[in-house]
Structure 1
C-alpha cells in the first residue's frame, strides 16, 4: 500500500463560523484571521494505492460552480487536483473508487463535472465507483433547512443517475472494521448524519482522515466545535471518543482542512488531549 496527499485547492471561511462559541481572541492564536475575519483552509485529499485499486478520499470543491459562488469562499493558492495527481504519475481516469466522507459541497463538488457542452453533468472520475452510506445519502438528498445550501443537487444526483453510486454496508456500531474498501470507518453524526472517518492501517501505523470531525489543529480542545455542526453536543462526545483512542493508540491524524498543518499526533495532558507532533504528509506517507 502507498498513500499520497492530494492538494485540491485552498479557500477561506469565517473564523467565527469555524469555531462556534469560542471567542476570537482564543481561536485567533491557532487560526489567525485576515481583516475580513476569514481563516485559511485547505481541501487536502488522500489517495490510497492498494493492488489494482486507486481510492480517492473526498474530491474538494471542483470547478463547475459560478464565479459568484466561488467568490464567497475566497479561493487562494495554486493547488489543483489534476496537477497533484500528476505529481505522483496518476490521472483522474486511473481512480477506481471515490470515497466521500460526506456530501457537503467542499467534499463532493469535485466528484461531478460539466459535460463538454455544459448542458449536463458527468462523473469527474469516469472509471470509479462512488461510495457513501444510505443514511447520509437520504439526509443529503432530502436536506434540512440548515444544511440545504451545503447539499447541492448537481454534486450528488448525477452520481446516482450514472449508476456509479454504492453504499457502504454497516452495522449499528460506531466503528465499522474492514469495510468494502479495506479500511476501518468511524461514523460521526454531530457535524452531519453519518459522516465517515476512514482509519487506515499503514506500515504498522493507523492514519485517520479526520474530515470535519477535526477540521484543524485549533479544533483539538473538545468545546471547539464548528458553528456548522448540526448537533454540536454530539460532536463534542464523538470528538472525545475519537481523540481518546487516537492518543491511546498513537494514531496519525491527516487533516483535510488545515491549510498549514498536514498530519499530527495527539497525547494526553492535564488539560485533556492536546497536540503532540506536527508532521509533513510526505514524512509519513511515502
Structure 2
C-alpha cells in the first residue's frame, strides 16, 4: 500500500465559526486570523494505491461554481486536485474509487465538473462511495446546513450510475481500511482508518479539523450536534492516545499529521510531521 497527500488548495472560514464557544484570545494562538477574522484552512485529500485500486478520499471544493460564489471562500495557494494528482504521476482517469467522508461542498465539490454546460463526475472510471444515511440527510437538508449541500455537487453522482453506498453494519471498505462513523458534525460522516507501515492512520476529516481543535471544547459552530461531537471526539482521542494513532488532517494549513498524548490537562498534541515522513 502507498499513501499520497493530495493538496487541492487553501480557503478561509470565519474563526469564530471554526472554534465555537472558545474565545478568540485563546484559539488565535494556534490558528491566527486575518483582519477579517478569517482563518486559513487546507483542503487536503488522501490518495491510496493498493494493488489494482487507486482510491481518492475527498476532493476539495472544485472550481465549477461562479467566481462570485467561490470568492466567499477566498481560495488561494497553488495547489489543485488535477495538479496534485499529476505531480504524483496520475490523472483523473486513473482513479478507481472516490471515497467521500461527507457531502459538504469543501469535501465533494471536486467530485463533479462542468463540461460544455453539463455536470458530470470528474472521475469517469471511478465508483463514488457515500452511505445511505448521510446521502438521505444531504439531499433533504435542514435549513441550517443546506448551504453546505449543493445539489450540483451531489445529484450528478447518482444520475451517472457511479454511486454506491457503504454498509455501516460492515464498517469496512473491502479489505483496505476500516470505516468509523460519527454524527456530531453531520449525519453519518465516515472516517477511514488505515493500517499503514505497521501503524494506524485515521483521516479525521471534520471531527478534528486542525491540530488547534484537539482540546475537547474546541468544536466548530458548523457542527449540527456539538454535544455528540464532544462525545465522539473524547472517545476517539482517548483511543488515539492509548494506541498511538496517527491523525491525518484535512483542514490544518500547517500540519499534515500528528500524534496525541495524555497530559494533566487532557489529550494534547504530541508530534507533528508529514505523511511522507512516516
- TM-score class, shorter-chain normalisation, is over 0.9
User: What displacement does 1:177 show?
Assistant: 4.5
Number of the residue aligned with 1:266? 260
Spell out the pairing of 1:135-284 with structure 2 (5 A cutoff).
135-171=133-169, 177-180=171-174, 182-284=176-278
Gaps of at least 5 residues in structure 2 are none
Deviation at 1:282, TM superposition (A): 1.3
- Give the corresponding residue for 1:97: 97
Partner in structure 2 of residue 6 of structure 1: 6
Q: CA RMSD in A?
A: 0.9
| Inter-partner Cα distance in structure 2 for 1:216 and 1:109 | 20
1:2-58, CA deviations, whole angstroms, 9 ceiling, x for partnerless residues?
000000111010000000010000000000000000111000000000000000000
Matched-pair contact (CA < 8 Å) for 1:205–1:252 = yes
Alpha carbons of structure 1 residues 132 and 215: separation in structure 2 relative to 1, 3 Å: same
Supply the distance in 1 between the matched residues of 2:63 and 2:276 (Cα, whole angstroms). Answer: 27
Matched with 2:81 is 81
Decide whether the 8 Å contact of 1:168 with 1:180 is kept in 2. no
Superposed structure 1 runs of 4+ greater than 4 Å apart: none
**Counterparts of 1:181 and 1:144 in 2: how far apart (Å)?**
35
DSSP 3-state at the match of 1:149 = helix
Deviation of residue 185 (structure 1)?
Answer: 1.1
1 CA distance for matches of 2:209 and 2:58? 14
Q: Distance in 1 between matches of 2:187 and 2:172?
A: 21
Shift of 1:170: 1.6
Counterparts of 1:170 and 1:247, CA distance in 2: 25
Separation in structure 2 between the aligned mates of residue 248 and residue 198 of structure 1, nearest angstrom: 19
Matched residue SS, 1:64 = coil
**1:195-253 deviation per Cα after TM superposition (whole angstroms, max 9, x unaligned):** 00110001101110010000001100001000000000000000001111111110110
Normalised TM-score (structure 2): 0.99
2:121 corresponds to: 123
TM-score if structure 1 supplies the norm length? Answer: 0.96
| Contact 1:177–1:183, Cα closer than 8 Å, also in 2 | no
Change (3 A) 1:205 1:177: farther
- 8 Å contact kept, 1:159–1:165: yes
What SS does the aligned partner of 2:73 have? Answer: coil
Unaligned runs of at least 5 residues, structure 1: none
1:181 CA displacement? 5.9
